[in-house]
Amino acid sequence: MRKVAIIGIGQTKVDEHWNRTIRDLAGEAIFAALQDAGREEFEALFSGNMLSGLIDQQNNLGAVIADWIGFKGESIKIESACSSGGAAFRAGIMAIASGELDSAMVVGVEKMTDAAPTEVTSALATAADSDWELEQGISFVGLNALIMRRYMHEYGWKHEDFAPFSLNAHANATHNPNARLPYPITLDQFNNAHMVATPINLMDASPIGDGAAAVLIVPLENVRDNKGAVQITGSGAATDTISVHSRKAPLFLQAAYLSAQRAYSEANITPQQIDFFELHDAFSIMSALSLEACGFAERGQGPRLGLDNEITPKGGRIPICTRGGLKARGHPVGATGIYQIVETVQQLRGECGETQVAAAKIGMTQNIGGSGASILTHIIQII
């Protein structure tokens, strides 16, 4: 298998893009990635997207985006709920590593804000088990609230103990021009925010948005002298039961653990060597669970990292969400996994300004689909 590198990145601002279409957003990110790489073409296009058929009434999205940008090669859409971006990225990696392709563009794109909130909530809920969860009328935030409530009961945490995850994300987003919510929040704002599904309030939950991010990947052997290139050294994927109640350990992200272990093994590193972690903080409880599953905290002790100031870009043991994460950069679901990749490349290139992690050489991303059913982990490092 060949080694794979990223040579170009592009992204749009995550926002309410009322006057733009899903194809327009995808095209902007793709052309930005080409410009960044100094290239004009690629061999195949992999698009990560969850909701185009449900919200935009547009299936066959691969052909739609290809047509818009004037591309006539292979182009497919990959759907894996909120981990669609990560799944598309892994598909591109395998195509390059196998020798089937010598270049691939991977774009994650989502257009969510044109629909009514109730319609979006219903569409997102399709990432859960339609027979055993959706049928009972529970929303996606409701499922995460049940997990968080049980976690607090089992391990004795209070709601405010999760505040550092959100405060860190918002503090970092103030320095990200592409963030959806680029402003800081206080502990009082976190504690007094409107309750959505007890114990999850507005400050625990990530906002939806419209946006697209793209990366151009090629064989590493072709670009070793490219100063903007970084190497993909680990890629792991795993699944768990789609319904939370079917899991033997509902408070442990087994798929996160397995995908991370596979990525660590492929990269031949340990968690202690990771310089920063772009995790999937769709809800604050997921930050704690991801940190535990990936070996950065003991089970039930994820919030301790935030309380001990171990997650910040300046001096933290394991900085997370360095550009705002899902919580403040925003969560255009099918695009989120690629935003994480783009932001990791920015860190490794030293382009993150006030939230730059000093001497960052190895970054990790983790993209979660559903409430932990489909999880992809990637490790990227300086060549």
Residues designated catalytic? 82, 331
By the 8 A CB rule, do 110 and 85 touch?
no
CA-nearest of 119, 273, 278, 143 to 213 is: 278
DSSP string, 132-158: TTGGGT--HHHHHHHHHHHHHHHH---
State the Cα–Cα distance between residues 151 and 253, nearest whole angstrom.
12
Where does residue 106 rank: exposed (0-12), middle (13-18), buried (19+ CB within 10 A)?
buried
Q: Alpha carbon of 71 to those of 78, 91, 141, 150: distances in Å?
A: 18, 19, 38, 49
CA-nearest of 8, 1, 62 to 218 is: 8
**Angle subtended at Cα 184 by Cα 181 and Cα 190, rounded to the nearest 5 degrees:** 95
State the Cα–Cα distance between residues 80 and 63, nearest whole angstrom.
18
Which run of H or E residues covers position 263? helix 254-267
Report CA 149 to chain centroid distance, whole Å. Answer: 24
State the Cα–Cα distance between residues 363 and 346, nearest whole angstrom.
10
User: CB count, 10 Å around CB of 299?
Assistant: 13
- Three-state DSSP state, 324: coil
